[in-house]
Amino acid sequence: MTKVLATEIRVGNLIEWDKRIWRILKCYHVHVGGRGGAFMQVEMKDIEAGTKTNQRFRTEDKVERALVEPREMTFLYQEGNDYVFMDKQTYEQLNLSQDFLEGQSEYLLPNTDVLVNFHNDRPIGVQLPSSVILTVVDTEPSLKGATATSSSKPATLETGLVVMVPSFVLQGEKIKVNTDSGEYIERV
């Protein structure tokens, strides 16, 4: 097992904390002015029990990364509530439920490469690429004279994910989205 700084925790990572394996669902770096100092606010789910908890780690804290075997896989297609992945080495297929993916399914398009983490030959988490390119299928029309100002509008993407985008982004355009935060990065 390796120890990593709390600031290196990312969504989809697996850590060992309190003698259990936890999957990171959300993480935020929070800096409180004054004496408080900075910390990582982490929402995580117990792999075995399925319970969720919120935990604060100071930025200088170190956490144990769980000993996992990452396997490169490609997302193939969705079949009902299951998502089908193929191992790039053995070509074996693996079905993971939508509940298992915990909101990560909104970033998956066919042929997306991911890392599926295994612990004792059991899948326990999926690590997405840091960003994905998705097509805008529905958004409000652009306002005349709108430039790259701070105004934004909701846009529905091809996977059903709704992201706030700048007012100049139009329906049919491809955009890059951060898979950790779900935020718009840029037009592609």
CATH number at residue 79: 2.40.50.140
Q: Does one domain contain both 60 and 86?
A: no
- CATH number for 55: 2.30.30.30
pLDDT of residue 150: 67
- 24-79 confidence digits (pLDDT tens): 888 888 887 777 788 899 999 888 788 999 999 988 899 998 888 889 999 999 99
- 149-183 confidence digits (pLDDT tens): 568 899 999 999 999 999 889 999 999 999 988 89
Q: Does one domain contain both 49 and 80?
A: no
Q: Which of 65, 83, 99 is the last residue of a domain?
A: 65
Q: Does one domain contain both 161 and 123?
A: no
- Total domains in the fold of the chain: 3
Query: Could you list the residue range(s) of the whole structural domain that residue 27 is in?
Result: 2-65
Q: Does one domain contain both 156 and 117?
A: no
List the beta strands (DSSP E) in the chain.
2-5, 14-17, 20-32, 37-46, 52-58, 62-65, 69-79, 82-87, 93-97, 113-119, 122-127, 131-139, 152-157, 162-166, 174-178, 184-187
pLDDT of residue 109: 92
Q: Does one domain contain both 78 and 50?
A: no
Q: Does one domain contain both 98 and 136?
A: no
**Higher per-residue pLDDT: 188 or 2:** 188
